[in-house]
Structure formats: C-alpha cells, structure tokens
Structure 1
C-alpha cells in the first residue's frame, strides 16, 4: 500500500482538518502508512491520530508570518518518511509543497483546495505559476473546479472534483428524546429552532443572517436562532442583536463539541456565507435530516437542492434570505421531515465517506504504480 504524507496549513477543529481525519481513518483501515505535517503547531485530533498510528509533525511556523526555513524543514520530513504520495491541503500548504518539490524528490504530489476562493489574485497567480510542480489539483465542489479552470489556475486535464465526505452513520438516527439541549438553553418545545455552525468571521456573513432572522420573527415570533462557533465578530454581532432587539431569540453558544446533538434537536439549518467550497456542516445537517436554507455560493447547490431538501438564497441579501426562511417554515412538520429524509438519502448515496475513500484510492494507487514501473 502507498505511503501518504499529508501537509496542511494548520490542524484545528475545522472542515478541512475533519476531512483529513476521516481520510486517515479510512486509509489506515486499508493498511496505508500515513504521516501528517502541519505548518503551525497542530492542536486537534492528536490522540486519535496517535491511536491510528499516524505520525504527526509541525514545521513550527507562526500564523501569518512567512518563514522560508519551512522549506528545509519539510524537505527533511519528506526524506525521512519517503512517501509515495505527498497530499497537501489548503493554499499555503499547496504552495509550500510545490516549492519544496524543487529541492526533494516527491514521486507524486496532489494538491487539494477547499474553497472556490482561496484569497485573491496573487494566490491564484502563484497557483498558476507553480502548477507544473504537481501532478493533480483537486477541489471539493464542481463549481470551484469550473472556476479554477476558467481563471486558468489549473488546466482542465490536471484538476478534478473530489468532494468532501461524511460518516453518515454518526448522524443517522441520533435522537435526544429527553430534549437535553432545548432544556439547557431554555427553549420551549413549540419554538422553531434554526441552527447555524461556523466561525464568527466576515466570510460567514452572520450580520446578514441575523438581519434576515429579525424579519422572520415578525411572521414567526416563536423562533430561535442558535449560533455555534467562535471568532472575531462575536462582539459586533451581539451588539447587532441588541440594535435589532432580537437578543432574546439569538443565542451564541460558543465552541461546542456536541454539534450532532444540536442538530438532532434543531428544526432547520441556516447558512449565510459569502463564499464556500463544499461545507462539511451542510453534509452533517443533511445526515441529521435537517431541511436547509443557505446562500447560493460555492458548492452549496451541490448539497441543497431547491425544494427537495431546502432553499438557496442570494448572498448578501437579507430580504431574500428571510423570504426563503419563511417559505420553509410554512411547510407542515410532515413536509419538513420529508425534506430532511430526502437530504439524508442524497448525502448517503453521494457523499458517504466510504464512497470518497474509494475515489482517493483510485487516484493514489494507479499513479503510484505508474511512477514505480
């Protein structure tokens, strides 16, 4: 089996990291030898990786500070591990892996982007210039793949869709019969609960979400919005809630480790992002049987199918978002359950982690064989 060395910008509790963790579990079950390198000190899943037998290293970089010494450090780790495949994730790691390849042999280099927009024209130019240094670029949504081809970040024959995957069984049938989450948060059984999960940062556009929710309350006063996550915008968002007089109906939960339980007791999922790749949290919401209202950005429409399991709203348009929220809430409980079941079945068919692991092994193994022959 191939030896795979993963390189990622950071290793925290976020979408790309979660995806690599799932990938490590699946590949180790197939007897792959794995190691993981984080550019900055990793903080997530360390015990689980150790238990799996995945070696973890850090390049000891500081966040936001370029350090050319990282090239030499990563080169030494490549020499030590002798991978058949180097698989990098996120823009900084992708560029570092490509540049390091000028100084050390890598039989196969695969670079994965996790968004339709990875930070502006300079990064896109750097991707274009360094493309000859990798065999394949992948992205997590077809929308992102199409854009990368259009702006010539990668040629059509060297970029491929490999979507995020999810362990659907972790969310199937999770029912908190005692209503612990609602009880903890003081939510009545007759209140409609919207759930949003993600970093409190400008890209998620929670200002748009809260403004839309304030409009929804005029038609559906017995509604609650739960926002799970941390980030720099929290203080401003709390102030917005006070300005709009919705502070009693919007609850900031901070960092939570029980997202599956939150989803099991929510009535619908809400996303207001300005851009996305293929959000893991939307797959989790589908696996939990939640109908969804999300902005029509990135790969969201590859998960949310209009009228089948939710609705897509224009980004940066709180009126349009609130209209779709009201439309979803107008459905009967039976219709909402049917929407949730449609989404669950769809994700199980196309995004189950076993399906995605097979896609990755079909990329790794033939290329490794061709490199060695």
Structure 2
C-alpha cells in the first residue's frame, strides 16, 4: 500500500460508489475547500455522497445542498469532548451505509477510527493536512488507533516522511496525495483585475496579498515586520490580508505599532478570492509550517509571482527562483529582501514568473488530476480488500 497504481477509475461497481466525508468543521479553510471540491467531483461522477461536520458548519452548506449532497452536524463545541458524538456519527453512517468513510483533519480522523468500533465501515481513509498536528499526544493517538483505519494520507511528501519518522503511522500505511485547485476558477482575468483594483482603490500601487487564518501557523508578525521594511523603500505599496482568527486584535495592534495603518488592509473572510488575486501584483506567505497550502495553488493558478517561506509543502508547489522566491521561515529580513527583489523586477519578468507558475500548476495540480488520484486510491483499496476476503 505504499504507492498508488494507475487503474481504470470510473468503473467501480455502483454498490461501492457510496462515501461519507467527515471533517472537524466546515469553515473557510484550505482542508475544507479540498473536501468540498472532492465531494463535488465525486457527486458529478454519479457517486452517493454525504458530508458530516463535527462542529456546526459555517461555510459551504449552500453549495453542497445545491449539488444534492446532504450535510450533517454532530453539534460539537470546539475544545469540549462529547462522547455522544460517537453514537451520532455511528447512526449517520449506519443509515447511509457508505462503502468508504473518508475523514479529514486530526480530530475527525481519531473520531472516525473510534466510531468504527461501533458501526460497520468497509474502508476508512484518514487524511492529514499538515506536517504538524500540534501536541505529541496526537501523534501517539494516531499510532494507537492506526489498526482501526485502512490508510492514512497526507498532502505533503515531507509530511509523510515526518509521520513515519515520529511513529505516527507505519511506513506501509501512509501515502502522499497532494491538494489540487480549480484552474478554471483561479485563472488570469483582466476584467476581474480592473474591478478588484477599483474596489480597493489600488491605483498604480504595487499590492501584495496574503490569504489565511490569523493564527500562529501563518506567522503574520514576520510578514508585517517584513512589509514595514518594504514600505521604507516603496512607500505607496499595499498589503491586503484575507482571513479571520484569534490573533486579529494582536495583529491590528502590531500594524499600529509599525505605523502601517494606511498600508495594510484586513479584509476578513471573502468569497471573491479569485477576483482579489487577479487584482494584486504579488502573493506573500510567511507560514512557520505548512502541509500543502491551497492558497499557494490558487495564487499560482491565477498567475501571481510569489514570495513564500521554504517550509514543507510550499517547496512542492512552487519552483524556487522560477515561479517564486523562497526564504527561511521566521526571518523578516529575508522575507523583506525577497519581496523587494520581486518588486524590482521588470513587469515582463514578473509576468513570466506568473505564466510559468500557472503552467506548472495546470500540469500537476488541477482538479481533474486530483480526483483521479483519489479514485485510483479508492480503487486500489477496494481491490486490496476484495482480494483478501
């Protein structure tokens, strides 16, 4: 089970085309986007699909409903264990009778494994979306519950190596399945660019964009400190930040401390990210660690030149020196120098970086390629199981 073998992916017998997705919460996050994308692709291929959120959903319910995909909530509250969630999930699974239960993120992965003790699930896949799962006990919990799942996947090659190294998953029970992106939705569009620049009054100013949760992992303080250095040489430059999170007030205070109130705009959660990406001139990411960030795929598909930290999945998405400039994490000076380097390039060179970036993503990480990888994996697991009955 250590690698995926190509198979004819759309000829699974209908009785096997039933899948339940379980995720910690349906919110505006990268893993949620990937789940909804995959669920939609499978539904369009005739699969029977349902989605279960441990927390009360905050996003994507309308989109899933429009596709005829039912969404269930276990009604859990963040940080509060609820044993009854096991029984709720077991009933949902029992009623739907999926052949595949596919869980995403650490809490959902552990819940799915425990729930499998109470209800029949032919195949269970656990997908992790990061190189770090937080505290060490989570890695231990993964290893202890591993016998209750059939396979673990991760979105980054380095993350797969890390999970094996720390003993979270046996080497023969984990594979790499990268994220993917809708390259039609995220693509260069001059009309979108004009609208976006007008909406945010960008004028001719060089504008950077960052999209992501306002949390420790994204390390926005390093980004803001780097941008404060950029403003010294490029006083008209702007930074747009899309996202929400627990560090919003702390980051707003840092913006004031650095006297960037007129140069940094917090836009909150936005539904028009493709349009905003088209409106800016460069994408910047300062994450201290990552899995495989969907926003880098989106920015690349939109044709943006990128400056990002050289961590885990970032280096798998971009080509350093060709489509992006990578720098060490938690180093504001290095980040600022790379941002300045990109800003000083002639326009045609930045456009060339963006064009190559899009070509690389279309060739390697499109939605169609993503769903085929998952269908190949489901087929391989099914064949392995039926051949060993």
Q: Same fold (TM over 0.5)?
A: yes
Look up the match of 2:315: 301
Give the one of 231, 239, 245 matched to 2:259: 245
CA distance, structure 1, for counterparts of residue 85 and residue 193 of structure 2: 51
Give the one of 262, 265, 270 matched to 2:279: 265
CA distance, structure 2, for counterparts of residue 222 and residue 99 of structure 1: 55
CA distance, structure 2, for counterparts of residue 341 and residue 144 of structure 1: 28
Q: Does 1:25 align with 2:40?
A: yes
1:83-94 alignment runs, 5 A limit: 83-94=98-109
1:17-166 alignment runs, 5 A limit: 17-166=32-181
CA distance, structure 2, for counterparts of residue 309 and residue 253 of structure 1: 26
Q: Does 1:11 align with 2:26?
A: yes
Look up the match of 1:355: 369
Look up the match of 1:310: 324
Q: Does 1:338 align with 2:352?
A: yes
Instruction: Call closer, same or farther: CA 1:48–1:177 in 2, change over 3 Å.
Output: closer
CA distance, structure 2, for counterparts of residue 241 and residue 196 of structure 1: 15
Look up the match of 1:222: 236
- Contact 2:192/2:278 (8 A) holds in 1: no
TM-score scaled to structure 2, two decimals? Answer: 0.93
**Offset at 1:365?**
2.3
Q: How many residues align?
A: 372
CA distance, structure 1, for counterparts of residue 312 and residue 214 of structure 2: 19
**Offset at 1:202?**
1.9
CA distance, structure 2, for counterparts of residue 281 and residue 217 of structure 1: 24
Of 199-208 and 269-278, more deviation after overlay is shown by 199-208
Look up the match of 2:191: 176
RMSD: 1.4
**Cα deviations across residues 293-336 of structure 1 (Å, max 9, x unaligned)?**
11112200001211110111111110111111111112110000
CA distance, structure 2, for counterparts of residue 61 and residue 218 of structure 1: 47
SS at match of 1:116: coil
Look up the match of 2:5: none
TM-score scaled to structure 1, two decimals? Answer: 0.96
Which consecutive unaligned segments of at least 5 residues does structure 1 have?
none
- Contact 1:176/1:265 (8 A) holds in 2: no
Which consecutive unaligned segments of at least 5 residues does structure 2 have?
1-13
**Offset at 1:27?**
0.6
CA distance, structure 1, for counterparts of residue 31 and residue 190 of structure 2: 27
Look up the match of 2:246: 232
**Cα deviations across residues 66-87 of structure 1 (Å, max 9, x unaligned)?**
0111111111111111111100
SS at match of 2:376: helix
CA distance, structure 1, for counterparts of residue 142 and residue 312 of structure 2: 19
